[in-house]
Structure formats: structure tokens, C-alpha cells
Amino acid sequence: MLPAGYTWSLTAISAAAGVAMLLAFKHFSDQVRIERVKRQVRAHLYALRLYSDEPAMIFRAQRQLLVWNARYLALMLRPTAVIIVPTVLLLWQLDSVYGVRPLAIGERAVVTARFADSNDLQNLSPVLSGNGMVVETPPVRIPGEHRACWRIRALQPRPTNLTVRTNPTAHVRSVAVVYPPASINLFGWGLHWLWWFFIFSVVTMLLLRGRLGVSL
């Protein structure tokens, strides 16, 4: 699990994201129409209870519920379209910070080098070197994907200065360490960061929607 400091920072980011989404819904949705639609939905829900012994009225209320729910979803499309791209970009960035953890000393991981499509891995003899690690295996070549992989053992949490050398000239596009997945420390329990982000941002929206004057 990640240290407790990661939990607190993710909590702050989740709360800020919840506020930002509330403001987006406030400024990019028709709040008046949303309130009207919600009143209609509540009215037809009450009708289901009031006319529970009248099948015709129940059928009519159910049909109207479907209609008004569809209108509600339509009103949500515009603000959702506004926030979806920034949210995806934010989640992508957060995953690089909270989705993986550093290696423990002595823990093993895989290092992958990706070569240019023009390079023939069969003719290359790639050698991996770097600080803070020990290379334990020869390269495993994957010609169809233009990749070579090594297993390493960590001497420090994050190996640095990773370098791939080859016998002929070759273009190395990237060298990456596959770090193990991480979890957020929640009172001693491990929780995936995305769940905590979702839960806390939604809770923030529910708690602050009245103060910010936002109808959801």
C-alpha cells in the first residue's frame, strides 16, 4: 500500500474535482428545466403509491416515468460532455501517481525496451544497464511487437539511468519499468485509488450541491 500521505493528497484532489464538476453542472446545464423534470419524476413516483390498486393508472405513471427520466438524461448530456475530457485526462495523470508503487528492495520487476519498427530484433543483441538494479535474465525478444524484456531485482525503490545498448545501430523508442500496482491505505485496508476518487468526489458533490445552488 502507498503511504498515508498519498491518501490525504488523493482526498484533496477528489474533493477539488467534485467541486469543479458541480460548477460545470451549474454553468453548463439548464437548472430550471432539471428542477421541473425532477418534480415530474417525484410526482409520478407518488402516483405509483397512491394508485397501487388501479392498473391503468399504474401503467400510465410508469410510462410517464420513462419519458421524464429520458428527458432528465438528455439534460445531463451537455454538462457531461463538458467535463468528460478533463476528467479522463485527470484520471490518466492520477493513475501514473497512485496506480503504481515503488519497488521494495529485493523485489523483482520487468523492464521493457521498445524498438523502432525498422529494427530487426533477431539481428540485435540488446544489453540493459542502469543504477539501483541487478539484471537477472538475458533479453526476451518479442519480434512481432518490436520489444525486448528483462527481469531485474531492485537495489533501490526506483532504478534510474536505464540504458539499452545493441551491437548494430538501433533506435530505441522507450525503456520502461513495469512497477507493481498500488492501493490506497484506508485505515489499514487496501483500496484501489479509482474507487476512493469516485466515492469522495461524489460525496463532495452531494454535500455541497445545496450550498453551491446546483441541482443534479
Q: Which residue type, as a one-letter code, is found at position 100?
A: V
| Whether residue 161 sits in one domain with residue 117 | yes
| Whether residue 90 sits in one domain with residue 19 | yes
Q: What is the mean pLDDT of residues 84-96?
A: 93
Query: What does the pLDDT look like over 14-45, one tens digit per residue?
Result: 999 999 999 999 999 898 999 999 988 888 88
| Whether residue 12 sits in one domain with residue 91 | yes
Q: Are 196 and 186 in contact (CB under 8 A)?
A: yes
Give bridge partners of residue 150 from the DSSP assignment. 111
- The answer as to whether 216 is a domain residue is no
Cell 432539471 sits on residue: 34
pLDDT confidence of 11, banded at 50, 70, 90?
Answer: very high
| Whether residue 93 sits in one domain with residue 34 | yes
- The answer as to whether 202 is a domain residue is yes
| Whether residue 73 sits in one domain with residue 27 | yes
- By residue range, what is the domain housing residue 120? 108-178
- The answer as to whether 184 is a domain residue is no
Work out how many domains the chain is built from and give that number: 2
Q: What angle do CA 115, 117, 120 make, to 5 degrees?
A: 75
Mean pLDDT of the chain: 89
| Whether residue 115 sits in one domain with residue 67 | no
| Whether residue 82 sits in one domain with residue 18 | yes
| Whether residue 91 sits in one domain with residue 20 | yes
Give the predicted TM-score (pTM) of the model.
Answer: 0.74
pLDDT above 90 for 122: no
Q: Are 141 and 115 in contact (CB under 8 A)?
A: no
Query: What does the pLDDT look like over 69-79, one tens digit per residue?
Result: 899 999 999 99
Q: What is the mean pLDDT of residues 165-189?
A: 85
Query: How many other C-beta atoms can be found within 10 angstroms of the C-beta atom of residue 9?
Result: 14
